[in-house]
Amino acid sequence: MTYTERARSIFREEISCLQAVADRMDGSFDAVVEQIYDCRGKVVLMGIGKTGIIAHKIASSFASTGTPAIFVNAAEAVHGDLGMVSREDLVMLVSNSGETSEILNVLGPLRSIGCRLIALTGNPSSPLAQDCDTVLSVHVDHEACPLGLAPTTSTTATLMMGDALTVCLMEKRRFKADNFAMYHPGGALGRQLLSKVRNRMTDAVPRVQATAAFRELTCEMSDKHLGMTMVYEGVRCIGIITDGDLRRAIQRFDDLSGVRAADIMTPSYKHITQDALLTEALAMMDRYNITTLAVTRDAASDEILGIISIHHIIDFAGTPMPSVGRPSSTANPLS
């Protein structure tokens, strides 16, 4: 067996165990989501070792998506860090065995503080689970580690449970891209999320009249380098011509000398407002498999102020936008 084949078998093994965790989920998950949502303080994640690393990640995910959260190392908690915890907080204790001494040692002090306790554990019958208000089970039948010693499948299950909580809370809070931007103002990601279409659009809009000859409209598209041109009747925009429309016209007409813009234009086109976020523009391009959008002043206006292309966004961001696909360069813009 090659290492690649072995890796695939490990993937399959973990996926099977994770599916079992998902199948066993019950109303406790709903209760935890509601408890976190209703929490008037912050969510405190506690753990140690490798599960502590997972707990730290869950806390970071919560904090960046609208749920105030911090991570406290359980070993440090009894040496002063419990001072970060208040009565209004909700504490989630993460331990696969539910028997780790450092975790159990903080239960008494946390009870004295008076905060609610949630156990995220692989052992629903453990001392930790028995002493907490709510239990989320991430029990797995076995680890992917052939010795059954190194945390592998168990940490993956814990991470996925944290991701599920994060996403459900985001949806419950109606957390949007502009909310996300407030917590990520730095770096390329922050620039992408905070920037609006008007900051990156070009006001050099390709324009031809409906009576424009084929050569004229081709020259306009070539000069503006956007692969499209808007078609006007006087001062009113009535359609669009794309590179794809040009190719279809060449196939359709034997003689292009008499072809006018109105003969080959598409009367409808996709547009977006100047105050929309770049993420919204990219999502729309992805949805319609296009590379360019007309930009209007607002939703009620049909005045075209500019054009935003996928290249404007990618060049600005420096990296692909998160979680949104990009259409191919051959897609017909705006059609």
Whether residue 284 contacts residue 270, with contact meaning beta carbons closer than 8 Å, is answered with yes
pLDDT for 321? 42
Q: What mean pLDDT do residues 194-204 have?
A: 87
pTM greater than 0.75: no
CA angle 286, 290, 293 (to 5 degrees): 100
Instruction: Look at residue 16 and tell me whether its pLDDT is greater than 60.
Output: yes
Among 94-98, 266-270, 298-302, which stretch is predicted with the lowest mean pLDDT? 298-302
Strand partners, 67: none
Q: What mean pLDDT do residues 3-14 have?
A: 95
d(CA 302, CA 281): 17
Q: Which residue in 311, 276, 272 sits closest to 293, CA to CA?
A: 272
Among 103-117, 180-194, 234-248, 312-326, which stretch is predicted with the lowest mean pLDDT? 312-326
d(CA 47, CA 30): 22
Whether residue 110 contacts residue 91, with contact meaning beta carbons closer than 8 Å, is answered with yes
pLDDT for 326? 36
If you write DSSP's letter for every residue of 40-97 in order, what string do you get?
A: SS-EEEEE-HHHHHHHHHHHHHHHHTT--EEEEEHHHHTTTGGGG--TT-EEEEEESS
Confidence of residue 331 (pLDDT cuts 50, 70, 90): very low
Confidence of residue 329 (pLDDT cuts 50, 70, 90): very low
Q: How many residues does the chain have?
A: 335
Domains of the chain: 3-175 (3.40.50.10490), 197-317 (3.10.580.10)
- Could you give the percent of the chain with pLDDT greater than 70? 88
Q: Which residue in 60, 61, 25, 48 sits closest to 97, CA to CA?
A: 48
241-299 confidence digits (pLDDT tens):
998 899 999 999 989 989 999 999 999 899 999 998 887 888 888 888 888 999 998 88
d(CA 36, CA 136): 13
